[in-house]
Amino acid sequence: MGEATRDESTAIARRLAAVAELFVRRSGDLAECEWFCADACDAVAAEVSAVQHISHARAVVKCTVTRM
């Protein structure tokens, strides 16, 4: 059971690292958009929620956690 927990924690860490990397990429892409309706967090959360089949709100939380 302990090994399964470690494997799960490793998988979660990898997913959060991927979210953080995507956020950094999108932040640079969106920096030059003056009149953009959403910020980089919303843009990343939209992609993350679609890929991970989670709600937008949960994806925003993941995006916020990676920026801490």
pLDDT tens digits for range 15-45: 999 999 888 888 776 667 666 667 788 888 9
pLDDT at 55 over 90: yes
Q: Please answer whether residues 47 and 63 qualify as being in contact, where contact means their C-beta atoms are separated by less than 8 angstroms.
A: no
Answer whether 13's CB lies under 8 Å from 56's CB. no
Owning domain of residue 53: 2-66
* pLDDT mean over 4-20: 91
Look up tokens 């950094």; give the residue. 24
This prediction's pTM: 0.67
Structural domains of the chain, count: 1
